[in-house]
């Protein structure tokens, strides 16, 4: 963890690790035991995951529901401690084969180069639930 990294740098590094290199541990590089990931509670993989190990399990659970998972970022707005990535989330349900494509935002709260919170904000959880069956 680099304590001088801003929220924007942390988010960009995490996305590059996950989507460019398929490196989940790289995505989690700036998470620690105080970090939280919050997924919409209405989703079958929803909830709040605390600590790097629990967050990794939570993310792997998400990936179990979807294949061809992508988040195409259109813009990121930020200050030193917060970044919000906005873009298009697309995936195919592993169970039903149904595809979804919807706007998604992810909120990052970062202090001293450490992720305190990462929270995806879905534009339509019902569409995701319907696709999952």
* Measured distance CA(122)–CA(42) in Å, rounded: 11
What string of DSSP letters covers 19-34? IIH--HHHHTTT--TT
Q: Is residue 2 part of a domain?
A: no
Q: Could you give the number of structural domains in the chain?
A: 1
pLDDT at 110: 98
> What pLDDT does residue 80 have?
86
Q: Which helix (H) or strand (E) holds 95?
A: none
Give the CATH number of the domain where residue 16 resides. 3.10.450.50
CA geometry: angle 77, 81, 84, nearest 5 deg: 30
**In this predicted structure, what is the pLDDT of residue 23?**
98
pLDDT for the residue numbered 99? 98
Q: For position 51, what pLDDT does the model report?
A: 98
The phi and psi torsions of 19 (rounded to 5 degrees) equal: -95, -25
Count of H helices and E strands in the chain? 5, 6
Query: What is the model's pLDDT at position 4?
Result: 87
| Per-residue tens of pLDDT for the chain, all 133 residues | 567 899 999 999 999 999 999 999 999 999 999 999 999 999 999 999 999 999 999 999 999 999 999 999 999 999 989 999 999 999 999 999 999 999 999 999 999 999 999 999 999 999 999 999 9
Domain that holds residue 34: 7-132
Q: In what order do the strands lie in the sheet containing 99-111?
A: 47-50, 36-39, 114-122, 99-111, 82-93, 66-78
Sign of the C-alpha dihedral computed for residues 122, 118, 56 and 73 taken in this order = positive
Q: Is residue 100 part of a domain?
A: yes
Residue 37 falls inside a structural domain? yes
């Amino acid at each position: 963890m680099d304590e001088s990294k801003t929220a924007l740098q942390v988010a960009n590094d995490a996305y590059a690790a996950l989507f460019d290199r398929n490196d989940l541990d790289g995505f989690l590089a700036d998470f620690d035991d105080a970090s939280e990931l919050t997924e919409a509670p209405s989703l079958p993989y929803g909830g709040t995951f605390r600590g790097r190990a629990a967050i990794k399990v939570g993310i792997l659970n998400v990936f179990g529901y979807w294949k061809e998972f992508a988040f195409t970022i259109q813009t990121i707005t930020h200050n030193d401690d917060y970044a919000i990535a906005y873009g298009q989330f697309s995936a195919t349900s592993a169970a039903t084969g149904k595809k979804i494509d919807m706007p998604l935002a992810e909120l990052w709260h970062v202090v001293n180069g450490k992720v305190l919170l990462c929270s995806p904000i879905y534009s339509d959880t019902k569409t995701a639930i319907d696709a999952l069956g």
